[in-house]
Chains A and B, each alone.
Chain A
Amino acid sequence: KQEVTQIPAALSVPEGENLVLNCSFTDSAIYNLQWFRQDPGKGLTSLLLIQSSQREQTSGRLNASLDKSSGRSTLYIAASQPGDSATYLCAPRGGNEKLTFGTGTRLTIIP
């Protein structure tokens, strides 16, 4: 059974700083891994999808890395902005199609 852990659970950083969010998962037999953001009371916005054969994926100020064999992924956010404040979720996907979610990292960017 896949289990996903995200550390830290909460993070506050001043605007402009670079930061890294961590995700670890127990079952390395995954097809891909998605990073999402969730704003309070809202749905999930897909940020990046990284395939199991990839090491990195980039979109704008976001960069996701994946080390499948060690069961780890990181999300790097460059030059953070107040609008980046949200809960960030990682979700690896196995062959059974379903995503398994961590409990997220609640990020606050301080202006």
Chain B
Amino acid sequence: NAGVMQNPRHLVRRRGQEARLRCSPMKGHSHVYWYRQLPEEGLKFMVYLQKENIIDESGMPKERFSAEFPKEGPSILRIQQVVRGDSAAYFCASSGLASTYNEQFFGPGTRLTVL
């Protein structure tokens, strides 16, 4: 039973490029969460999605960041026109149908470096 999968594990982009981070939830999980961990800081919530719906994006920066979780395929976190301050570890988590009392299980993260 594979856990939460994220790819790529490491991503290097130059300023102004786009970054696409992918997350495949655990089998049977339909709730996906993205968190960001800036250097020397704690993890911060970004966005919560269910299939084809954004439920809560209160932690997403207002510009350049978007997320989706299509009916088929992985969830995607997209960062347009990356800047050095976007360098961080981005973690995806998933939980099952009855999410209220379920654990969130985390993937290994994507470490984004912006040159």
Do the two shown chains form a genuine complex with each other?
yes
Contact of A103 among B41, B45, B106 (CB under 8 A): B41
Cα-based distance from A49 to B55 in the complex (angstroms): 23
A89 at the interface (CB under 8 A from B): yes
Q: How many residues of chain A get a CB closer than 8 Å to chain B's CBs?
A: 25
- Contact flags (1/0) for A19-46 with B, using CB distance below 8 Å? 0000000000001101010000111111
Cβ contact within 8 Å between A103 and B56: no
Cα-based distance from A64 to B56 in the complex (angstroms): 29
Cβ contact within 8 Å between B106 and A46: yes
A65 at the interface (CB under 8 A from B): no
Cβ contact within 8 Å between A89 and B43: yes
Cα-based distance from A102 to B99 in the complex (angstroms): 22
Closest B residue to A44 by beta carbon equals B106
Chain A residues whose CB sits within 8 angstroms of the CB of B69 once the complex forms:
none
Cβ contact within 8 Å between B101 and A32: yes
Contact A99:B45 (CB < 8 A) given known A46-B103, A46-B104 = yes
Chain A residues whose CB sits within 8 angstroms of the CB of B111 once the complex forms:
41
Q: How many residues of chain B get a CB closer than 8 Å to chain A's CBs?
A: 26
Cα-based distance from A43 to B111 in the complex (angstroms): 10
B107 at the interface (CB under 8 A from A): yes
A96 at the interface (CB under 8 A from B): yes
- Name the distance in Å between B6's Cβ and chain A's nearest Cβ: 8
Cβ contact within 8 Å between B42 and A103: yes
Instruction: Please give the residue numbers on chain B whose beta carbons come within 8 Å of chain A beta carbons, in ascending order.
Output: 31, 33, 35, 41-45, 48, 55-56, 58-59, 91, 93, 99-101, 103-109, 111
Instruction: Please give the residue numbers on chain A whose beta carbons come within 8 Å of chain B beta carbons, in ascending order.
Output: 4, 31-32, 34, 36, 41-46, 49, 51, 89, 91, 93, 96-104
A-B contact pairs, 27 of them (CB 8 A): A4-B42, A31-B100, A32-B101, A34-B103, A42-B109, A43-B106, A43-B108, A44-B93, A44-B106, A46-B105, A46-B106, A51-B101, A93-B104, A96-B48, A97-B31, A97-B56, A97-B100, A98-B33, A98-B45, A98-B56, A98-B59, A99-B43, A99-B93, A102-B42, A103-B41, A103-B42, A104-B42
